[in-house]
Amino acid sequence: TRELNRVAITATQMMESMIDNPIPTRAEVFDVANAVYDGTDAIMLSAETASGKHPVKAVEAMHRICIEAEKQRSVRESDHRINIHEFERDDEAIAMSAMYMANHTKIKGIAALTESGSTPLWMSRISSGIPIFAMSSQEKTLGKVTLYRGVFPMYFKIEPNQDHVEVNRNIVKELRKWNNAKDGDKFIITKGDLTGVEGGTNALKVIIVGQGLTP
């Protein structure tokens, strides 16, 4: 699914015993953890929450397993190398460049301005453990990216006549607002020159919070 840039949702009665029981079996714990290790974007419950006796406990148990599984080094790091001779789209090349840099430098996070959600989707295909903030004014896009692994939706609107410096400053302001950035943190920003154009991401910039962009 990562090679095809598709979202993977694992939903195969993973906590089935919790329809009746308050705790999962050891096999179910391993199933959920292995799905995380294998790179799934989301894990879905069905009867466990729709008709089970312990819907809240089922969600809480799955959440705990996922959090612990994502702490493993193999999940948070990647030895991915760019081995494609040619990208079909510039925005895909920017996304892959951002992830290559993020995995080889001390980056706190990535702010991806997006109209359609394609850029954060491509980024999420590469394991990093680095948060990707998909910043968009499109509600449909913000809803879609919630499924992408490691991607956090954030409403962000570029006002008319804002220059690039002001846009970057407002990005930092928004990151600070949600306690995602502090002075000295290094971020990658990806965006396009033209506002409101899908597939227009053509720029990558590295910023250090508090150095010239303090809101």
3-state secondary structure the chain: CCCCCCCCEECCCCCHHHHCCCCCCHHHHHHHHHHHHCCCCEECCCHHHHCCCCHHHHHHHHHHHHHHHCCCHHHHCCCCCCCCCCCCCHHHHHHHHHHHHHCCCCCCEEEEECCCCHHHHHHHCCCCCCCEEEEECCHHHHHHHCCCCCEEEEECCCCCCCCHHHHHHHHHHHHHHCCCCCCCCEEEEEEECCCCCCCCEEEEEEEECCCCCCC
pLDDT mean over 117-140: 92
| pLDDT tens per residue, range 5-55 | 788 899 878 899 999 999 999 999 999 999 998 888 999 999 999 999 999
Whether residue 98 sits in one domain with residue 41: no
Give the domain-ending residue among 20, 41, 74: 74
CATH number of the domain that residue 119 is part of: 3.40.1380.20
84: pLDDT strictly greater than 60: no
Whether residue 102 sits in one domain with residue 45: no
Residue 28 lies in a domain: yes
Whether residue 63 sits in one domain with residue 116: no
Under a CB-based contact definition with an 8 Å cutoff, are residues 157 and 151 in contact? no
| Pairing, β 151-155 against β 9-10 | unpaired
- Confidence at 211, pLDDT banded by 50, 70, 90: confident
The domain of 110 spans 90-208
Give the domain-ending residue among 49, 74, 99: 74
Whether residue 140 sits in one domain with residue 53: no
Q: What is the Cα–Cα distance from 154 to 167, expressed in whole angstroms?
A: 15
Whether residue 48 sits in one domain with residue 107: no
Whether residue 58 sits in one domain with residue 14: yes
Residue 171 lies in a domain: yes
79: pLDDT strictly greater than 60: no
Whether residue 108 sits in one domain with residue 176: yes
**pTM of this prediction exceeds 0.85:** no
Whether residue 110 sits in one domain with residue 167: yes
Overall number of domains in the chain: 2
